[in-house]
Amino acid sequence: MSGAPRHRCCGEFTRSELARRSLAEAGRGLPSIEPGMPAPAGTGLNRRSFMLRSGALALSVYGASLLKPQAFVEGIAKAAESQGKVLVSVFLEGGIDGLSILSPVADDKYRQLRPQLRMAPGAGPAWSEDSRLQWHPSAAPLHQLHGEGKVTVFPSIGYPSADQSHFTSRHYWEVGELSARTNTGWLGRLLDVVGSDENPLQGLSLDGSLAPSLATGRVPVAATWGPSYDLWAPGVWGDVEDLMFEAFRRLGVNAEKSRDAHLSGAGRVVRQAETLRQQLRAFSDEITSPVTYPDTGHFPESLAGLAAMLDAGLPITVASVGAPGSYDTHDEQAEDFRNYLAETCDGLLAFQRDLEARGLDDRVITLAWSEFGRRPEENGSAGTDHGAGGNAFLIGSGARGQMVGEWPGLNVLDEDDNLRSTADFRAVYCSLIEQWFGVDADAVIPGASGLARPVLIG
Amino acid sequence: MSVPVYRGRFGASQAERLLWRAGFGPAPGEAEKLSRKGMRRAVLSLTRPKGKAKLHGPAPHDEDGLPLAPRDAWGHDLLWWLDRMVRSNQPLTERMALVWHDWFATADVGQVALNLKQNELFRARGLGSFENLLLAVTKDPAMLVWLSGNQNEAGAPNENYARELMELFTLGASNGYTEDDVREQARALTGWTNDWDDDLGMINFRYEPDRHDDGRKRIFGKTGNFDWEDSCRLCLEHPAHAGYLIERLWSYFVPVPAPKRTLAALKKGYRRDRSIRRVVEAILMHPSLYEGPRMVKPPIVQIAGMLRARRNGIATDSWTWIADQAGQRLFQPPNVAGWDEQRWLDTARISGRWTAAAYNTRDDEEDTDTYDEKETASEAVRKALRFWGNPSISDKTRAELQRFAGRVEAAATADWQQGTYRALRQNALRILIVMSPELQTS
């Protein structure tokens, strides 16, 4: 929805504060960072992440004169050692029209249901796994990666008795079960099993608010706007700034102990914010990417930042980024759909190439998903209403690259005239948890034992 | 069966909570003054304000000192409303507009004037009859565009508004309706349209009988030739409606569910005349509001509250991106379900609130060259609390601030640090107070 420019926070102030701070600290004779110096002991951060940063801030990490090293350092060290697997969740908001990503262009029923919105035969490349279907031209990057065996396609994914409310259906996908009451996300519960008590970065939302799928019951997680995080206090620097953040953290810890739920929650977030600030102050948001990303704003910037953060050894296990645009295309669908899908797929291709160039592609896999597909029959406004079975894609060098489920066809629809689903998202989650992270899905997904385990990896 | 009324002490701190929950926090001295009315009269002064709202304090302007242009300049829609939140002497009117902006969440439809017009509707009808409000919203131009009501015509129904009318506006998800009801409601709602003018944009929103599907429809088991007003009334008469409305309205003011008997009494009262004012009055006088747990302040309430406490006017465009960063860009709710009140706080939102605090203190930065070199820790904390109009804080939070102030003094060893560190300490205390978990809540 928001097409407006997004300001970066107070860059000028930060820069002038930095200049002041580095003068003040340099006056006290703190060491400066030179190439070749070892990384700060115990942080687990590799040298590269420190060299990315301008001198002044890195100084304050070295020279934290008044405060003991924080516990987060352990969390970083532990996670960085493992160089573990990473899952990136890309949400295509609004319910994407699967029939326009992979279209049965020669199907009579399709032509009849989609008089205005149908894709022309030959407009995009055919899909090698099912010759009835043809890629949307904007999805060409997916076609390319699929040809390299790096995309597992779910041609009609959903769940039994699909709910056509955005919010209910999205909620199910976020929490990983068909329950309106669950208030932890499936990735959050995964982190509760494999995560650390001190590392908010392990679950990172890059869109400026926490993705519900990352909501944990126990361990900390983080939200940032893109790959940076800082808190700027005007007229506070040096020792006083260090002490201020220590006090901020203590205010958080105190409140967290309260029995008052909202106060305790506020305290927890304050503590996490201070830990995150310490984790990311040593990482520069001036990213240098080995590949060129599209210049379409927040989505490619976030993916580029994420790749750089992983390359710098930051301890991220799951990350969430929203795809650009909204796919809730009730009217005049064609143009918005074309543009948003192109931005999304171009960004995902650049991300994959970036990971490959950095040698990280065997560690990172991306799941692109939406809350449902759309009604096969277009509505009277050159748009489509809410449907059921939709598309999802698992992208990465580790993906098996063979479709899961099949395209169900248009001749037999469900009781609401929507596409029947041929894969269950909960089964996909179980497979990812087990095949990618090596964790027993029973500990994360309710009813896991009754769900299938499609082969996704390898 | 009646709704319980709070009978405890109503001092400045209770009045302070009321002003945060039903408004945007107190200006200096305002809580004290309100408390002298007693709880009942204090609530009525908010729910039944006399005459037109007056705006007190400095007139808003943008970065360049120019008046706001809410229809034309990017972000000025938010500044315009934030100014009313900060300066209006009828804060509940603005707070109710915020409730309805969230309830009937409509994002920028590409023609800000339409969104502003909808906003006036929420202000004018926010405490009246919910039936009138719902009917007005259903044919409101911004809503007609936002949920495709202007595209919904006989023979080519569009389900967008029909679904949210039930799911979000009147009944709750899957709460006593079926997918068939969604489709039939869409038919009943057909008929609205508008024209396009190359200069003026969308104009002339109207109901055209020719575009209306006048066939028989079956909705909630009733059959008839229903139109858009029937569609709304069927929802209001649905047995699930009163409960949905009461529970949701309650949740904007009190963070724990209403007691069962309270709920039953509120539902019964509401069914009589669908008066929003009476429900809100009962909630604001309820013991749960004063005796119950604290509640996270919505980001825009926190931001407006800081400005009120400082008696600062709108003097920068930055509030728009700061409110966005803090998680509540007015006129841009994340989707038609509005903001997620359960998730106001995460690390990103906290950094937005922090930035808002920084923008409320940056113009009053203390001078390191002239600052009192002898100021004690207690004096420093008192001064910083005064800066924010003396908000009530717990002893524990005060002790933590005091500890910080003492630690700074201990760190100031060199002569040059005595005044300098105390100036920095004052700047830091102001941020710490307003960013404390306690003051993120009320």
| B31-78 confidence digits (pLDDT tens) | 999 999 999 999 999 999 999 999 999 999 999 999 999 999 999 999
With respect to residue B7, please indicate whether it lies within any of the assigned structural domains: no
Among A200-209, B133-142, B379-388, B415-424, the range scoring the smallest mean pLDDT is A200-209
Q: Is the domain of B285 the same as that of B303?
A: no
Q: Is the pLDDT of residue B412 over 60?
A: yes
pLDDT tens track for A310-331: 998 899 999 999 999 999 999 9
Gap between the Cα atoms of A435 and A452, Å rounded: 13
Residues B273 and B315 in one domain: no
Q: Answer whether residue B5 is part of any domain.
A: no
The total domain count for chain B is 2
Write the DSSP assignment of A145-167 as a string of letters.
Answer: HHHTT-EEEEEEEE-SS----HH
Q: Which helix (H) or strand (E) holds A320?
A: strand A318-322
* Domain annotation covers residue B118: yes
* Residues A85-106, mean pLDDT to the nearest whole number: 97
Q: Which of A175, A248, A316 to mutate to test the interface with B (most CBs of B within 10 A)?
A: A248
Q: Is A104 helix (H, G, I), strand (E, B) or coil?
A: coil
**Cβ within 8 Å of A, B 88-147:** 107-108
Residues of chain A with C-beta less than 8 angstroms from the C-beta of B397: 251, 254
Say if residue B186 is in the same domain as residue B241: yes
Structure confidence at residue B342 as a pLDDT band (50, 70, 90)? confident
Q: Which two tokens stand for residue A421?
A: 């689903």
What burial letters (b/e) apply to A43-66, b meaning 16+ CB within 10 Å? Answer: bbbebebbebbeebbbbbbbbeee
Same structural domain for residues B265 and B305?
no
Contact B46, B95 (CB under 8 A): no
Min Cα separation A381/chain B (Å) = 6
Task: Answer yes or no: do B385 and B428 share one domain.
Answer: yes
- In this complex, the residue of B329, B348, B361 whose CB is nearest that of residue A234 is B361
- CA separation for the pair B224, A329 (Å, rounded): 31
A86-194+284-450, CATH topology level: Alkaline Phosphatase, subunit A (3.40.720)
Residues B215 and B149 in one domain: yes
**Tens digit of each residue's pLDDT (9 = 90 or more) over A381-433:** 999 999 999 999 999 999 999 999 999 999 999 999 999 999 999 999 999 99
Q: pLDDT at residue A6 above 60?
A: no
- In the listed set B291, B309, B328, which residue is the last one of a domain according to the structure? B291
The confidence band for A60, taking pLDDT boundaries of 50, 70 and 90, is: very low
Are B282 and B320 members of one domain? no
Same domain, B198 and B318: no
Same-domain status, B186 and B46: yes
- Decide if B4 is inside a domain: no
Statement: residue B369 has pLDDT above 60: yes
* pLDDT tens track for A244-300: 999 999 999 999 999 999 999 999 999 999 999 998 887 766 788 999 999 989 999
Per-residue pLDDT tens for B156-176? Answer: 999 999 999 999 999 999 899
Pick from A351, A249, A246: which is nearest to A308 by CA? Answer: A351
Q: Does residue A38 carry a pLDDT above 70?
A: no
Of B397, B427, B436, the CB nearest to A236: B427
| Final residue of a structural domain among B240, B275, B291 | B291
Q: What share of chain B has pLDDT > 70, as a percent?
A: 100
The answer to whether residue A63 scores a pLDDT higher than 70 is no
Q: Give the lowest-confidence range in A158-167, B98-107, B368-377.
A: A158-167
Q: Is B200 exposed, middle or buried (0-12, 13-18, 19+ CB in 10 A)?
A: exposed
**Contact (CB<8Å) A232/B358:** yes
Kindly state whether residue B6 falls inside one of the protein's structural domains.
no
Confidence of residue B98 (pLDDT cuts 50, 70, 90): very high
Residue B395: half-sphere exposure toward Cβ, Cα within 13 Å: 0
- Asked whether A385 and A374 are in contact (CB, 8 A), the reply is yes
Determine the pLDDT at residue A285. Answer: 65
Asked if B153 reaches chain A (Cβ–Cβ under 8 Å), the answer is yes
In chain A, what are the domain boundaries?
40-69+239-282, 86-194+284-450
CB atoms within 10 A of CB A108: 10
Q: Could A1 and B75 be called an inter-chain contact, meaning their C-beta atoms sit closer than 8 Å?
A: no
Would you say residue A8 has pLDDT above 80?
no
- Of the candidates B291, B324, B349, which is a domain's last residue? B291
Interchain proximity A4–B355, CB inside 8 Å: no
Average pLDDT, chain A: 84
The residue segments making up the domain with residue B330 are 299-440
Among candidates A235, A238, A331 on the partner chain, residue whose Cβ is nearest the Cβ of B158: A331
Chain A nearest CA to B50, separation (Å): 34
Residue A10 to chain B, least CA–CA distance (Å): 9
State the complex-level ipTM. Answer: 0.95
- What is the number of other CB atoms lying within 10 angstroms of the CB of residue A336? 17
B1 domain-assigned: no
Contacts B436 to A, Cβ<8 Å: 251, 255, 270
User: Given an 8 Å threshold on Cβ–Cβ distance, is A380 in contact with B337?
Assistant: no
| Predicted confidence (pLDDT) per residue in B11-23, tens digit | 999 999 999 999 9
pLDDT level of residue B245 (50, 70, 90 thresholds) = very high
- B186 and B244, same domain (yes or no): yes
Residues B92 and B239 in one domain: yes
Q: Are residues B144 and B225 in the same domain?
A: yes
Residues B259-298 have pLDDT tens digits of 999 999 999 999 999 999 999 999 999 999 999 999 999 9
The dihedrals phi and psi of A40, each to the nearest 5 degrees, come to -55, 130
